[in-house]
Structure 1
Amino acid sequence: MDLHQLGVVIKQRRQRLRIRQNDLADLAGVGLRTVIAIETGVANPSFETLSKIGDVLGLELTLTIKS
């Protein structure tokens, strides 16, 4: 999944749960600009940041290492 697709999934889930961007940022302990950048596909977030957002949204993250 590329960064754009990731952002779309996060945005759609947030909207389905009727959570505003600033509320997601507060609940996940990340900055509002970070949430916006992730949703628009311009950020390259750490796994830790994605994990925090995923926890709030009820999303399971899987790490795949390609060799």
Structure 2
Amino acid sequence: MTLIQLGETIRQRRQRLDIRQNDLADLAEIGLRTVIAVENGTGNPSFQTLTKIVEVLGLELNLTVKL
């Protein structure tokens, strides 16, 4: 999954839950600019940031490592 696809998934879930971007930022204890960047696929969020977002949205991270 690319950052753009990840951002779109997060945006769609947030919208389905009727949560505004600034409310997601508050609930996840991250900055609004971070939420916007993640949703636009322009940010490079840390694992910690992604974990906070997906917990608020009731999503699950599934990481695959390719060597």
Fold-level match, TM-score > 0.5? Answer: yes
Q: Helix, strand or coil for the counterpart of 2:27? A: helix
C-alpha deviation, 1:37, in angstroms: 0.2
Aligned to 1:17: 17
Q: Show structure 1 runs of 5+ residues with no match.
A: none
Whole-angstrom CA distance in 2 between matches of 1:46 and 1:65: 16
Aligned residue identity for 2:23: D
C-alpha deviation, 1:63, in angstroms: 1.6
Normalised TM-score (structure 1): 0.97
Whole-angstrom CA distance in 2 between matches of 1:22 and 1:55: 16
Structure 1 residue ranges (4+ consecutive) displaced by more than 6 angstroms after TM superposition: none
Aligned residue identity for 2:41: G
Identity of matched residues, %: 72
Q: Show structure 2 runs of 5+ residues with no match.
A: none
- 1:35 equivalent in alignment to 2:31: no
Normalised TM-score (structure 2): 0.97
Aligned CA RMSD, in angstroms, stands at 0.5
